[in-house]
C-alpha cells in the first residue's frame, strides 16, 4: 500500500522545523530528529483534533501552548470515520486513517 502524504501548509516565510512522515503506513509525524513524534492514528477521535506543536522555554518540543515560547507547527486531524457493520447487530468498524486528509501547518522557527 502506498503511503498517502499529509497536506503541508507553510504559514509564513523562513526556516521551518525538520520533520518527516514515517511509521507504519506513514501515520507518524516526527519532528527534529524524533525529539517529538505524533502517531496521528492514536490522536484521532470522533471529532476534529487540532494539535499545537511548540518550543518551551527550555528548548524542548511540546504538544500544546502551555509554557510555550515559540510556535512551530499545527497538526489538524479530521474526525474518525467508520464502516457500518454488515448487519444491524454488527458494530461499525473504525476505518484506517487517511493521512492525505491530515494537514500539517509549519511556522518559521528563525
Q: Does residue 76 lie in a domain region?
A: yes
pLDDT reading at 1 higher than 70: no
CA distance 51 to 71: 11
Residue the block writes with cell 486513517:
97
User: 97 or 2, which is more confident?
Assistant: 97
Tell whether 1 is covered by a domain: no
pLDDT tens sequence across 85-96: 888 889 999 999
Query: Predicted confidence band at 25 (pLDDT cuts at 50, 70, 90)?
Result: confident
| Pairwise CA distance, residues 61 & 48, whole Å | 22
What does DSSP assign to residue 26?
G
User: pLDDT (tens digit, 9 = 90+) per residue, 39-69?
Assistant: 999 999 999 999 999 999 999 999 999 988 8
The number of folded domains in the chain is: 1
CA 91 to mean position of chain CA atoms: 27
Cell output for 83: 464502516
- 64 in a structural domain: yes
Amino acid at each position: 500500500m502506498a503511503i498517502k502524504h499529509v497536506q503541508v501548509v507553510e504559514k509564513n516565510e523562513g526556516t521551518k522545523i525538520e520533520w518527516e512522515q514515517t511509521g507504519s503506513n506513514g501515520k507518524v509525524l516526527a519532528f527534529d530528529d524524533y525529539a517529538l513524534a505524533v502517531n496521528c492514528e492514536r490522536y484521532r477521535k470522533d471529532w476534529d483534533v487540532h494539535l499545537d506543536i511548540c518550543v518551551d522555554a527550555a528548548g524542548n518540543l511540546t504538544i500544546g501552548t502551555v509554557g510555550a515560547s515559540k510556535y512551530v507547527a499545527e497538526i489538524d486531524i479530521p474526525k474518525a470515520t467508520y464502516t457500518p457493520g454488515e448487519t444491524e447487530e454488527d458494530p461499525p468498524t473504525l476505518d484506517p486513517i487517511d493521512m492525505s486528509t491530515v494537514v500539517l501547518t509549519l511556522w518559521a522557527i528563525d
